[in-house]
Amino acid sequence: MGKLNDKVAVITGGATGIGEATAKVFANEGATVVIADIKQEELEGTAKEIRDNGGTVKTYRVDVSKEEEVEGFADQVKEEFGRIDALFNNAGTDQEGGKVHEYPVELFDEIQQTDLRGTFLMSRYFIPLMLDKGGAIVNNASMSGSFADLDRSGYNAAKGAIINFTKSIAIDYGRQGIRANSVSPGTIETPLIDKLAGTKEEKSGRQFRESNKWLAPIGRLGDPEEIATAVLFLVSDDSSYMTGQDMIVDGGITAYTWPGKMVMDDSWKNTTE
């Protein structure tokens, strides 16, 4: 406890999923948490939970793909706090679009606007709030940024670009005391998974989760809190000599080249349930 005492941390996509979990973890570690999202009702619900638990939080409705909104957001945070110490660029979207020759151009653009442009804009306007005293940035990438998913070329491209963009920040600002790393989650139990694959109550959602048990050596989907604690490590002094790196937190999915016998042999299941 207390790893982020007296720190100001900004989190985008903070209303649900990984962003929500990270906001709660940061608040528990003593940070003043500033959470932004386009989902106003969920945003306020998350903020209420943090306050009820004794944390300090401010909320802003922001579409990270829109420059004027991000610039205005940065101005408000600067006016209220004067600086920030941590930035988690978490906001993002995903959707299956088919093979590349079938992929809708408008869908490709939409994903780049939110995932990649949003990460750039937030960095562009919030890095100046770190220049005096330094800070840490974490960009939410994905294992799909280093590898790839079928029929999701837009998402794969955006997340791959985020990983390399993170390295640009690291080398541009290392001597100003600003560290930048990315985190690459595997398949995490979030509302986005419910939207893409179905909920736990739906047949498609149950089938998706069961199939993913076979893929991850750990034998399950990840929890948002497991990504949140990785982000905490990356913004805290525990990782003070780490910058320009991508941390994959995927339950081991990317540890093998072909699942082979692991998929066919179900004897391990009894050890993970």
**C-beta of residue 118 within 8 angstroms of C-beta of residue 87:** no
Catalytic residues: 155
d(CA 267, CA 214): 11
Sheet order of strands, 246-249 included = 56-61, 32-37, 8-12, 86-89, 135-140, 178-185, 246-249
Q: If residue 95 lies in a helix (H) or strand (E), which one and from where to where?
A: none
Tell me which residue of 172, 153, 187, 169 sits closest to 245, measured CA to CA: 169
d(CA 44, CA 193): 22
**C-beta of residue 268 within 8 angstroms of C-beta of residue 218:** no
